[in-house]
Amino acid sequence: MADVKTLPSHQAMFDKQDGRPSQSTTSQANTASAAGDKGEVKEEEKPVVVAGEDKGDVGDGTQKKEGDAASPEAKTTEPAEISDEVFLAEFKKRTGREVSSLDELKEPAKLPTPDEILAAAEREKDESLEWALGTGILSREHYEKSITEKAKDKRSIALALFTSDLQAEEKDITAEECEDRFKEFYGENEDPDSWRYKKGQALLGKVADDYLSQYEDSNVEKLAEKYREFKTDTQRQKDYNKVVNKVAKEIPKEISFKTPYAGVDGKKIDLDINVPVDEKILTQVVKEFTKPGMHNAFDGTVNPEAISREIAYHVRARMLESIIETATTVAAEKASEDIMVNLKNARNPNQPLGGPQATQKSDKTPPSHKAFIDKVK
């Protein structure tokens, strides 16, 4: 049976895992020794090359490349240092969880006990009720009446409503007569297993439920849910306002753009227009952007770039008149310069062609144009 040989490129790894010298090294040494015994090659004439030593040999006859991970000279790149603020911002971006310091990440948050959960729920109910009463969402009179009415059983509620309707039609009817008619109407005089009794009780319950539905807004559980929504929305508004105020400070103090211009010579150029931002207009726009509920205009997503673009757009729109005025003035000044150049080089129309130019009676240039004339000489 032929010998099973391990691939040379894997032999060194197996030897290392087994904790014994590399077979490639041993085999090379044995080969050199055996060759010396036969007088073919002396050991000193063919030195043994140890695996991974010198010349980049990795022990399997393969030459190592420069920068190879197995090379001791290969250098590793250390990750760049980042500040805690940058790390926490990236952590929030990826996980949606906001922490104030790295210490909160080092020690996992302790889970609340059942008693703590119940206590927190009770605090939330108290806070939600206080919030509802304080904001006028719920009146105290309405809330207190809801407690009284919800404490009643459904039959008492249905009987009170039935009695009130009868007494509105029959002024002299007594409470006892009202109850007798109530029993007859709702089938309470029938056998409890009878169809009429069961249908009467079902109708009685529906009448009571419909009456109590007017107090659904005072349900403490639902108030707590609304209160949570209010707190979430308020926090979103605060985060949004911070971004608005921050980007407003970073908006350029000048509105800069280029406008095409064609001179009298027909050459087209771009004129640079720079208009200082009106701080009063910017302040008014920011005030309108931070009104309650404005954060919902961005689908609840606080995007600084989008907000910055919108603020800049509204500022430009409200400054349109002054922007046009400035652009017109710059273009007029450029046109005036072109005209002055042409006039300076123009011939006297009263002088015959080919003759010397007539001397002007005055060689003085108007003060308003002198600086420009001197500049273009």
DSSP secondary structure of 233-261: HHHHHHHHHHHHHHHHHHS-SEEEEEEEE
218 CB burial (10 A radius; 0-12, 13-18, 19+)? buried
User: What does the CA dihedral 26, 31, 32, 35 come to, rounded to 10 degrees?
Assistant: 160
Taking each continuous run of H as one helix and of E as one strand, the counts in the chain are 14, 2
Give per-residue burial for 319-351: e unless 16+ CB within 10 Å, then b: beeebeebbeebbeeeeeeeeebeeeeeeeeee
Q: What residue type is assigned to position 176 of the chain?
A: E
Residue 283: what pLDDT? 94
CA gap 321, 259 in Å, rounded:
16
The amino acid that residue 150 corresponds to is K
The one-digit pLDDT tens for each residue of the chain (377 residues) are: 444 444 455 455 545 555 555 444 444 444 444 444 444 444 444 444 444 444 444 444 455 445 444 555 555 566 677 888 888 888 888 887 787 777 777 766 678 899 999 999 899 999 999 999 999 999 999 999 999 999 999 999 999 999 999 999 998 999 999 999 999 999 999 999 999 999 999 999 999 999 999 999 888 888 999 999 999 989 888 989 999 999 999 999 999 989 888 877 778 888 899 999 999 999 999 999 999 888 888 765 678 888 999 999 999 999 999 999 999 998 888 888 887 777 766 555 555 555 555 544 445 545 554 555 455 44
Note whether 373 and 366 are within 8 A (CB): no
Closest to 57 (Cα-Cα) out of 19, 15, 28: 28
Report which of 324, 311, 239, 242 is spatially closest to residue 282, judged by C-alpha positions. 311
**Interatomic CA distance for residues 203 and 198, integer angstroms:** 9
Report pLDDT digits (tens) over 257-298.
Answer: 898 888 777 788 888 999 999 999 999 999 999 998 888 887
How far is 296 from 313, CA to CA, in rounded Å?
A: 19
The pair of three-digit structure tokens given for residue 354, joined into one six-digit string: 């080919």
Q: Tokens for 330?
A: 């710059």
Alpha carbons 58 and 71: distance in angstroms, whole number: 9
Residue 356's region, left for phi above 0, alpha for psi from -120 to 50, else beta, is beta
**pTM higher than 0.85, yes or no?**
no
Q: What is the CA radius of gyration of the chain?
A: 47
84-124 pLDDT per residue, tens: 888 888 888 888 778 777 777 776 667 889 999 999 989 99
Angle between helices 304-318 and 320-345 (to 10 degrees): 60
Q: What does the block give as tokens for 89?
A: 């911002």
User: What DSSP assignment string belongs to 20-59?
Assistant: S--HHHHHHHHHHHHHHHTTSS-TTTSPPPPTT-STTB-S
Tell me which DSSP letter residue 265 carries.
T
CB within 8 Å of 357: residues ≥ 6 apart:
347, 348, 351
Residue type at position 51: A
CA distances to 200, 219, 249, 271, 366 from 278, in Å: 74, 51, 13, 22, 36
Angle at 111 between CA 221 and CA 235, to 5 degrees: 55
